[in-house]
Amino acid sequence: MKDLQAEKEQIEQAKHNPEAFGELYDQNYSAIFNYCLRRTGNAELARDITGETFVKALANIKSFKWRDISFSAWLYRIAGNEILTFFRKTSYKAVSLEYLQEVQGYDPESQYDLEDEVIAAEQELKRHVDYLFYRQKIKQMPVKYQEIIALRYFEGKSLKESAEILGKPEGTVKSLLHRGLDKLRAHMRDK
């Protein structure tokens, strides 16, 4: 486990230093992308949500209080909120990221390798039939159960970590998980 003091210092540096932020980004990109991918089952959407998550993290890192929550938990929380936005609106636009790219001058040529990656990711998704089956069932449940089940079983987070990410007491998370499993079991029966 990463030294907490070191992480604290790294975050403080990242508030002013692009390289330090870049390091935090590299450490967390893959986890956040895969979380978004497993929650949404859609590589392109996961890519957009990941982008939006990091733009929002960058925009708000100065207000980030290390003592309240770990940095990675904070990223999971932002990503979770973005996913919720997607579920609520049924369509999703990575507004902040698109705007940032627009301001910087977007180079459409670099789209090719990005699209190849999305295609490869979609193929990887298709190979995991069991996961797709369970995701389909989980998707039918209320979001509060989806997120706790995803954090626990897709991301391997402990109850304590999940509680930190969701900003809920551990007991509540435990109860949510229990009820979520009950509901999932019921959904399985309906298959």
Partner 1 sequence: MEKTKEAENRKLHATLENLKLPTVKMPAHQKRLRETLLNSGYFAGETPQSLTRNKINGGIRMKPKIFVIAASVALMLLTFGAYMAFFATPQVVANLALQVNPAINLRLSDRNTVVDAEGLDEQSRTLLAGLNIKGKEVQEALSIIAEALHKADFLTDERRILVALSPVGDRLGEVELQTLKGTVEEALSGYLNEHDLQVKVVSAVITDELADVVQNFNLKPEDYVDLVYEAGSEVAIQALNLGNELGIDPALFKEEFGTIAASLIDMTETGITEENALAILRSGLAADMTLEELTTITAARIDLHEAGASQDNIMAIFKLMEAQIAAGVDRALLLEEITTITAAKIDMLDAGIPADIALNALKTALAADPTLEELTTITAAMIDLHEAGASQDNIMAIFKLMEAQIAAGVDRALLLEEITTITAAKIDMLDAGIPADIALNALKTALAADPTLEELTTITAAMIDLIEAGLSKQEALLRIQDAIAADPTLENFDDLLEDPVKQNGEDDEIIEEEPKPEDEVGDVPDVVEDEESESQNKEKQEETNDAAVTDKPDTDEAEKETDVVRGVESESQADEAKEETDDTAVTDKPEPDKPDTNQKPDDETDN
| Spatial distance between the Cα atoms of 38 and 18, rounded to a whole number of angstroms | 29
For the chain, the residue count is 191
Q: Which is nearer to partner 1, 9 or 115 (CB)?
A: 115
Q: Which is nearer to partner 1, 21 or 164 (CB)?
A: 21
- Min CB(125)–partner 1 separation in Å: 5
Instruction: Kindly list the residues in this chain that would bind partner 1 in the complex (CB under 8 A).
Output: 16-18, 21-22, 25-26, 29-30, 33-34, 37-38, 43, 47, 50-51, 54-56, 58-60, 62-63, 88, 95-97, 99-101, 103-104, 110, 113-114, 116-117, 120-121, 124-125, 127-128, 130-131, 134, 142, 149, 152-154, 178, 181-186, 188
Q: Which is nearer to partner 1, 3 or 79 (CB)?
A: 79
Q: Which is nearer to partner 1, 57 or 73 (CB)?
A: 57
